[in-house]
Structure 1
Amino acid sequence: MKPLYKNQDDFYQEVRGAVQPLKLDFNERSDSRPLWLEEEAISTECLWRYPDKSGLQTQVSNFYGLNQEQLLLTNGGDEAIELLFKYACLQKRQLILPLPAFSQYLVGKNNWSSSIDLIEPLADMRIDLNTAVGCLSEGAILILTSPNNPTGELIPYDGLVEVCQQAKSKGAQVFLDEAYIEFACKAYDSSLELIQQFDNLVILRTLSKAFGLAGIRCGYLLGQAEIIKQFASLAMPFNLPAPTIEVAKKAFTESAKLEVSNYSKMIAQNRELVGELLFSSGLQLVDSSANFVFIQGCDSKLRLIKAACEKRNIVIKTNLSGLTVNDKAVSALRITIPFYLKPLLNALRLALKPELICFDMDGVLIDTSQSYDAAIKATVEKLSGNVVTQDDIERLRGQGGFNNDWVLAQELTNEQGTEVGLQQVTEVFQSFYQGSGDTKGYKSLEKPIISQQLLTELFIANSRTIKAAVVTGRPKDEAVEGVQMIGARNSLVISDDDVEQSKPSPEGILKALRYFSKENGWMLGDTPDDMAAANRAGAIAIGIGNDSLYKYGADLVLNDVNQLESLL
């Protein structure tokens, strides 16, 4: 069979991606440079004088069909949020913030010691809009983000109309953060209609997300003239640098508008594909209209997603704050949707849809505590005259490098002060394990660990979606006997006789991947050598039985092999 890769280095480069990581943690436009942004040096002619943003002010106002008094340019969305807190504190206004929310609002709460009501989210992590509106009073400001960060939840147009109406009836205001609105596509223009209807509404937008200009720090506030005037009075006079103004002007052109629209549509399509894969794997998603997805569900699957992305050099958001009022722990991930989807999809499939699962045999598929371990103890006692314990065996196995039980028995014997060769150890070991004459060997005491149901699903039914292989440190004949004992049929068995280098070398796993022409694989084992082999092969490393395997690179540890079924 023709190998998929010329050598292991080629394999590592393919499965682990490029040297530069794919950043999918800050919702930036990290893998698709704006086509309308020409590669040219910023003019230095204007750097000696204070920046003049009037030209950009006119351009943005015309872009949206608004009067210039209805627009305030800000130093990114962050300055706009800072102005909100300054405005609320100076006017002693109560803030209402439904959670989950963008972390910057919680930073502002602490920095300004603001009077703010945090509203607990609904059970599915959507905002409790009804409760938030119910908390409004004279002079209060309701902070909404739509699409929301970190969930992507979109407040529909009718919902925004009702919120603005109720707020106005109570003498309250609405601060609407639309940093991700371009990705909602059809909702992009609708919220702007609300500006003409309501004088108690301020809308925040930015060039940091869909426009791909997070580095220039340019945002803006939209609203009726009187409320924008109040925010503008609190801003620094020269809050946008000249280079920012120069680049931002390029964003507010028809060519940029068309490109951003097409880019956003592609992200929306990719978001649906990612969502389908996650949902089909039993994970929970808030329906997202942003350039990211918020994922909850089985902690083990979330851990595997994190591990797979790390192996493929993809950075995702794993530490989310501001999800609940008391900041109680919520198991969740947020992943930015890239323009070029293949690397992310491959990583998610590695985590959730393995093409091949490799199993170590001893301690994973078969209980060998009364066979191999007993043979180790008997061998050491016969050769040294001293008794060793199960703890002694586990101590060496835990160090790594003792995947071969003959080598392990030799080391334990040497520790007792008796120097012996590997050949002698092997002969004594085999006499106990295989038996001789009428004496049954310890191998007769072996029992399957894997359940009949899981065995049938992976080794007998010959699944078209998931292939299975045994990658063991046993010699070939004993590996075949083990497979026959548990009842596996027509299984791929890669024994220690089939490789040039034993585990922790990844050779056995790579051979199995090549045999089935697969790229995404898992390895289940109970020793540090198994974990090392898995990681070196770019596979998911699943430890069995001992949490200490996390120290040796396990991506997930299960109590026993039968828990695997809950992950498939």
Structure 2
Amino acid sequence: MNMKEIKTEPLKLDFNERADRFPEWLDISKLSPQNYWRYPDQSQLKLAMSKQLGLAPEQVLVTNGGDEAIELMFKLATLEQRELVIPMPAFSQYLSGIKVWNSKAKLIPAKPDLSIDLEASLNALSENSILVLTSPNNPTGETLELDVLRDACKRAKAIGAEVFLDQAYIEFTGQAEESLCLLEDFDNLVLLRTLSKAYGLAGIRCGYLLGNEAFIQRFAERKMPFNVPQPTLDIALQAFSQAAQRDVADFTQRIAENRDLLVQFLRQRGLNVLDSQANFILIVDNSQRLQLITAACQQYNIQIKSDLVGLELQKRGLQEQSAIRIAIPYEFEPLRQALILALKPELICFDMDGVLIDTSKSYDAAIKQTVEFFTKTKTEQEEIDRLRSRGGFNNDWVLTYELIKLQSEGPLPDYVSVVEQFQQFYLGNGEQAGLNQLEEALLSADLCTQLFVQNSKQFKTAVVTGRPRGEAEIGLKLLGIRNTYLVSDCDVIESKPAPEGINQCKTYYGATYCWMLGDTPDDIQAAKAAGALAIGIAESESANNLYQAGADLVVASVNELERLL
């Protein structure tokens, strides 16, 4: 997909909704606005629900989204002075609900693999407890088997505790129908379901609780009158038609297939993906790799969830770990292409100076000596860095001339004279060795061999530098680089921050998915303009300048690239 072809509307994979397939069975013409002057009547919907689910209408409570059902649970627990037992990680609304209601609650820490500790949760129950379970769990996707749930309900009932089982994603598991049998055996169990996920109706706000009639009545007594609007009830009624049920079955099967494709792709690239039976996956891995995934998704106008609550990775000693959650789209290709850009680039472009080669004793020294030659004043490294951070000074000759203009009190030398003097310092003359002799490789020998010498078929490489071609070739020789495409400043009409050099490389290799590594705002802006992921090279104190220029990730050294591939 060409970047210009990407749709302007974002693909929302951050809230686990139906992202890209409209429920075709939904017929707006079947709404009944002539009745909207009346208060809402849930009876017809409850009858359709109970018939579909094999329950009595009194066992069904329609709520204003699953959110109201959760709020009713908190209200019930508070008014009946019950303690909540919630295994972690948990859906963020349960955590915020504890604060809002000032609830008495026990949060049971997760196991090291982020699965819930059900045994510890059951051991924490008392006769006054409500055990809150979510299966599939959000944000991990963990799904509890039916026998496990049955045992949990049995053990809770034995001590007089109750179970609130959140099944917002149950349609994606194959357990939706068979788990209803739990209600036949346990009067201490209530199930939460919603039309927001598999049905694709998050916008109408319709959820429902299922359970023993007496248990459901306790929730019903605490809801607001006429809690669900009539238009919502009319649309929800269509969700229990045969056409809608066929659509949900087709949709959930396609999502499961795409989920398997996504997990396989990510695990092949070495990422840690938690097992999931929901319409989303959780990736817990190196924070830098996840930052690249997030950036690539943004570039393809795809929204994913990176602000996750309750995982507490840092408390687990996983300081370099992070987590992202991605909902599974019906059309997989746009997400696949974003992930290829993030994890499997065809081409990696490198700036040379400050990335592959340390030029602090050569180019930077030549800048200082040239400025001093013309102005009789010394230049500090901070002044050079400050100009580079502004952008537009990728060419050291231009940067030198700008410093001379800033520091000179007399007539300015002409630009050609400045360049000639600079080159004498850098390349040397018959009497004095050039400063270029002091250059040292920043790229490790092993990584250089892996990237450039072995000519790996996994991806192609290129060097895009502001050096003149002759000096660029000297740099390649210093590094021992072979089998790479070189674009020097002599090979482009427009220097960086223009994307011409990177685009030349993409055209030469026929590549679409590209990374660019550079140490200046000009490198970063060129990368963004070329549709490449922009990886900055800078120490921590300078990283902010590159992020402000648009960098997708900033690392301290080019040698960290090995961790990203």
> Which TM-score band (shorter chain)?
over 0.9
Matches of 1:106 and 1:147, distance apart in 2: 17
Report if the CA contact (8 A) 1:85-1:112 is conserved.
Answer: yes
Q: Is 2:519 aligned against 1:541?
A: no
Q: Is 2:400 aligned against 1:409?
A: yes
| Alignment partner of 1:560 out of 557, 561, 564 | 557
Matches of 2:275 and 2:107, distance apart in 1: 22
Deviation, 1:278, is: 2.2
Counterpart residue identity of residue 530, structure 1: D
- CA deviations 1:30-83 (Å, max 9, x no partner) are 211112113537331111111111111110100011111211111111111111
Report if the CA contact (8 A) 2:87-2:109 is conserved.
Answer: yes
Deviation, 1:325, is: 11
Quote the residue 2:272 is aligned against.
284
Q: Is 2:253 aligned against 1:265?
A: yes
Deviation, 1:12, is: 4.3
Determine helix, strand or coil for the equivalent of 2:379.
coil
Quote the residue 2:207 is aligned against.
219
| Alignment partner of 1:235 out of 220, 223, 231 | 223
Q: Is 2:190 aligned against 1:202?
A: yes
Q: Is 2:146 aligned against 1:157?
A: yes
Matches of 2:382 and 2:182, distance apart in 1: 71
Quote the residue 1:8 is aligned against.
none
Q: Is 2:290 aligned against 1:302?
A: yes
Matches of 1:311 and 1:283, distance apart in 2: 21
Over aligned residues, Cα RMSD in angstroms?
1.8
Matches of 2:269 and 2:234, distance apart in 1: 46
Q: Is 2:240 aligned against 1:252?
A: yes
Report if the CA contact (8 A) 1:121-1:324 is conserved.
Answer: no
Report if the CA contact (8 A) 2:362-2:426 is conserved.
Answer: yes
Matches of 2:514 and 2:28, distance apart in 1: 41
Q: Is 2:444 aligned against 1:455?
A: no
Determine helix, strand or coil for the equivalent of 1:285.
coil
- 106-115 vs 319-328, which moves further: 319-328
Quote the residue 1:7 is aligned against.
none
Determine helix, strand or coil for the equivalent of 1:436.
coil
Deviation, 1:552, is: 2.2
Matches of 1:60 and 1:327, distance apart in 2: 44
Determine helix, strand or coil for the equivalent of 1:397.
helix
Deviation, 1:324, is: 4.8
| Alignment partner of 2:311 out of 316, 323, 341 | 323
Determine helix, strand or coil for the equivalent of 1:23.
strand
Matches of 1:564 and 1:139, distance apart in 2: 54
Identity %: 53
Q: Is 2:474 aligned against 1:481?
A: yes
Determine helix, strand or coil for the equivalent of 1:315.
strand
Q: Give the TM-score of the pair, scaled to structure 1.
A: 0.95
Report if the CA contact (8 A) 1:118-1:325 is conserved.
Answer: no
| Alignment partner of 1:470 out of 449, 460, 463 | 463
Deviation, 1:13, is: 1.8
- CA deviations 1:431-464 (Å, max 9, x no partner) are 2222222532222222222112111111111111
Matches of 1:324 and 1:456, distance apart in 2: 39
Deviation, 1:484, is: 2.1
Counterpart residue identity of residue 253, structure 1: S
| Alignment partner of 1:551 out of 545, 548, 551 | 548
| Alignment partner of 1:424 out of 413, 417, 429 | 417
Segments of 4+ in structure 1 off by > 6 A? 325-330
Determine helix, strand or coil for the equivalent of 1:564.
helix
Report if the CA contact (8 A) 2:313-2:322 is conserved.
Answer: no
Quote the residue 2:128 is aligned against.
139
Matches of 1:319 and 1:560, distance apart in 2: 27
Report if the CA contact (8 A) 1:414-1:420 is conserved.
Answer: no
Deviation, 1:277, is: 2.3
Q: What are the equivalent positions in structure 2 for 1:24-35 lying under 5 Å apart?
A: 24-35=13-24
Report if the CA contact (8 A) 2:3-2:300 is conserved.
Answer: no
Q: Is 2:113 aligned against 1:124?
A: yes
| Alignment partner of 1:441 out of 434, 439, 444 | 434
- CA deviations 1:262-297 (Å, max 9, x no partner) are 111111111112212222333222211111111111
Deviation, 1:322, is: 2.8
Q: What are the equivalent positions in structure 2 for 1:254-403 lying under 5 Å apart?
A: 254-324=242-312, 331-403=322-394
Quote the residue 2:12 is aligned against.
23
Quote the residue 1:171 is aligned against.
160
Q: Taking structure 1 as reference, are residues 119 and 456 closer, same or farther at Cα in structure 2, changes over 3 Å only?
A: same
Matches of 1:69 and 1:43, distance apart in 2: 25
Deviation, 1:237, is: 3.0
Q: Give the TM-score of the pair, scaled to structure 2.
A: 0.95
Q: Is 2:80 aligned against 1:91?
A: yes
Counterpart residue identity of residue 419, structure 2: T
Quote the residue 2:94 is aligned against.
105
Report if the CA contact (8 A) 1:76-1:220 is conserved.
Answer: yes
- CA deviations 1:397-423 (Å, max 9, x no partner) are 111110001101111111121522221
Report if the CA contact (8 A) 2:460-2:484 is conserved.
Answer: no
